[in-house]
Amino acid sequence: MSEATPVSQFTTLFDNKTLSMLERMRLNPTRRLTNRSRGEHLSGKGGTSTEFSDYRNYVPGDDVRYIDWNIFSRLNRPFMKQYQHEEEMHVVLILDASTSMDYEEKFQRCRQLAAAFGVMGLLNFEKVSAYVCHNRGGRPQQFQPTTGRGSMRRLFEFLTQIEPGGDSPIESAVDDVLRMHRGRGIAILLSDFESFGDLQRPMNLLYSSGLEIFGVQILAPSEVNPEINGDLRLVDSESGQTLDISSAGDLLGLYHEHRSLLEEHLASLCRQRSGKFLMVNSGDSLEHVLFDQLRRKGWVV
């Protein structure tokens, strides 16, 4: 996290050095789901970009401008040069801003990661939009799809002004977002995924909408390694519901088992949909997450 004064920093979310490093990174989707509109993201189809892809035989009607005349002079046969098609990819940032994220440094890390992914998208001429979900059934707070470096400051301001609070579970949040969103690309889900509901349905909805799922589970250190003991009354920060537990120390083993199972389940859901999953401890440093974890997991190049 930035320790410099806000005056000298471009954003309060991270320092300029981190920002400059982020500017050189780009997202690495698996399936390259792109939009038809022209962009800078290689679609895998033949196109008109300057990046050479392959040769093919000339057929009548082809644009003679793409004939490789050097080969023609040597072989006396026309061959067409093919180029990569660069299309625009939509990067959708879905931020869970329910009250459960307002715990220790969870939401701050959520904002930082969203900003980092946003920077990577904008600096690579992708279309970036963000949805912040607070309350169940409510309209998510939206950052309109935008592109280009010039939108970076606006994105930072949008993320900075978000206040967490609400009871929106992640499955309901995805429903709300898909009602508003159009476009293919990748959906980066930033949430703690601590939901009583079924997580399979929102994943299916995202996938069927042409969005590759990048799931980021953000947990606080006390959620990763809770240190509690004795007889306690646990209070849900979202619903205010309580749960009495005795000999909490004895339950921690089970808690770790269940947390690991949830993590594996989420990773499995993402993987089955050609997506990626990452669990982030908000107690870890941002640099470690961005430049170590994301690189090692193949999220960015």
Binding letters toward other proteins, positions 103-132, x by CB under 8 A: x--x--------------------------
Q: How far is the CB of 139 from other proteins (least distance, A)?
A: 23
Q: How far is the CB of 4 from other proteins (least distance, A)?
A: 30
Look up residue 242 and give its two tokens: 């309580």
Cβ proximity to other proteins: between 150 and 230 the closer is: 230
Given a contact cutoff of 8 angstroms between Cβ atoms, the answer to whether 53 and 138 are in contact is: no
By CB under 8 A, which span of 80-88, 98-106, 177-185, 288-296 interacts with other proteins?
A: 98-106
By CB under 8 A, which span of 32-40, 58-66, 226-234, 271-279 interacts with other proteins?
A: 226-234
Task: Pick the closest to residue 85 from 122, 53, 121 (CA basis).
Answer: 53
C-alpha torsion angle, residues 83, 86, 87, 90 (rounded to 10): 150
Cβ proximity to other proteins: between 34 and 195 the closer is: 195
Q: Tell me if 251 contacts other proteins by CB under 8 A.
A: yes
Look up residue 143 and give its two tokens: 């950052």
Locus of tokens 């962009």: 39
Given a contact cutoff of 8 angstroms between Cβ atoms, the answer to whether 27 and 117 are in contact is: yes
CA-to-CA separations, 87 to 27, 45, 126, 210, in angstroms, rounded: 14, 9, 9, 14
Residue count, binding to other proteins (CB under 8 A): 45
* Alpha carbon 271 to its chain's center: 14
Identify residues 193-212 at the interface with other proteins (CB under 8 A). 194-196
Among 11, 35, 43, 100, binds other proteins (CB under 8 A): 100
Question: Which residues touch 220 (CB under 8 Å, ≥6 apart)?
Answer: 103, 104, 105, 106, 281, 282, 283
Q: How far apart are CA 212 and CA 296, in angstroms?
A: 19
- Name the CA radius of gyration of the chain, rounded: 23
Q: How far is the CB of 266 from other proteins (least distance, A)?
A: 13
Cβ proximity to other proteins: between 210 and 226 the closer is: 226
**Maximum Cα–Cα distance across the chain:** 87
By CB under 8 A, which span of 18-26, 117-125, 140-148, 187-195 interacts with other proteins?
A: 187-195
By CB under 8 A, which span of 50-58, 109-117, 188-196, 271-279 interacts with other proteins?
A: 188-196
Can you say whether the dihedral through the CA atoms of 280, 107, 96, 262 is positive or negative? positive
Q: How far is the CB of 282 from other proteins (least distance, A)?
A: 11
Q: How far is the CB of 224 from other proteins (least distance, A)?
A: 9
CA-to-CA separations, 277 to 44, 123, 218, 233, 284, in angstroms, rounded: 24, 23, 11, 32, 17
Q: How far is the CB of 253 from other proteins (least distance, A)?
A: 4
Binding letters toward other proteins, positions 229-248, x by CB under 8 A: xxxxxxxxxxx-xxxxxxxx
What order of strands is seen across the sheet that includes strand 141-146?
141-146, 127-133, 90-96, 185-191, 211-219, 276-281
Binding letters toward other proteins, positions 253-272, x by CB under 8 A: xxxx-xx--x----------
Q: How far is the CB of 37 from other proteins (least distance, A)?
A: 39
Q: Which residues are at the interface with other proteins (CB under 8 A)?
A: 99-101, 103, 106, 192, 194-196, 220, 223, 225-239, 241-256, 258-259, 262
